[in-house]
Structure 1
Amino acid sequence: MAALGVPPICVILPDAQEVRGRLHARRQVKDGWLYQVGILVWQDGSNGSAEPAEQRVWVSPAHARPLPGVSYEHVPTHRLSATDAPFQKRPPAWTLQYLPHRPGHPGSTLLHVVGCNPSDRTLTQEEAVAALRQPRAAACIECDAARSLTPEQLQPDQAHQEHGIESLQDTNPRETPPPL
């Protein structure tokens, strides 16, 4: 799965499995760092076949671990500038990711804050709330999509849960890139 210039990384899945992925980028956010990782998965192909496809997602440092002996110095790193305003001061915008129907698993949607998942269309606050109220819809826990909406707008089971960002976090984010 190695691609020129894209180093491997250990990705920790939600069920605690560890798989080898690739680290495409890292970006500093208000509370620390996020890492764009890609893992190879199967997707429905033509004529009912299964084809490999890389799925990319932004994860917290709790879900990515560097591999011994691998250099991460050439990974694109996006830092907050001194003039960047905190996310709460910018008007938020959202995008939807459509997760396709698979045998035994109905399709669903995942709400993201703009920048977490590529999309051609942004949603207003009203559209984001309406999308979250649909069946099989959830907010991304990596990009604070749920936290960017007011508690009155969210149903109780859609509240955002905090995730620790200790394992790969910079102690002084303005100094050196994260230790990958």
Structure 2
Amino acid sequence: MSGGQIPSDAFTPVQVRVVLPDGQAVVARLWSRRQLHDGWRYEVGLPAYRNGPGDSVEPAEYRVWVRAPEHVRPVDGVSYDDVPTEYLEPPTVVQQALGPPRLSGWVLAKTGGRGPGRGVVHAADCEEAPAGTPVLTLDRALDAAQHPGTRLCSLCGAAQELDPVLKGFDHDAGDA
């Protein structure tokens, strides 16, 4: 199957062994599984108890997503063929070439000094961008970049991205 999700209409969860943080393994119910970019996650229902009306205690199930195969083991004789499974869509050729998407926007890192506009404009995902700084829209980043004393970071590409917009996409006549 190439993508999407297997319908879970008449699915009855099956048994699976879950390895707990302390190393012990318990039998749980497997509800679904999902393929992600960094591996598989299994939605399991762990047996538990909860307080009921009055002083009663009743059985319950705690559902959680766990990593597979690190925290999940099969139970002998159980078929997992009908477990609702969501497969990751394979990346397109363009996505493979471009890599993961970047965080959009820009941030202004203040550099101190006197006067307005002392700073560096970075792409939002730049390693040099200060944490917790508000993300600027394109218009705000361009406004900040026009102040004397503000420069564009060349490490993250803010200079290559914003300079053409600031300078009107100037081209040499010999480029055509």
TM-score range, shorter chain: 0.3 to 0.5
The answer to which structure has the higher helix fraction is: 2
Higher-Rg member (1/2): 2
If asked which structure has higher relative contact order (CA below 8 Å, sep 6+), I would say 1
Q: TM-score, normalised by structure 2?
A: 0.45
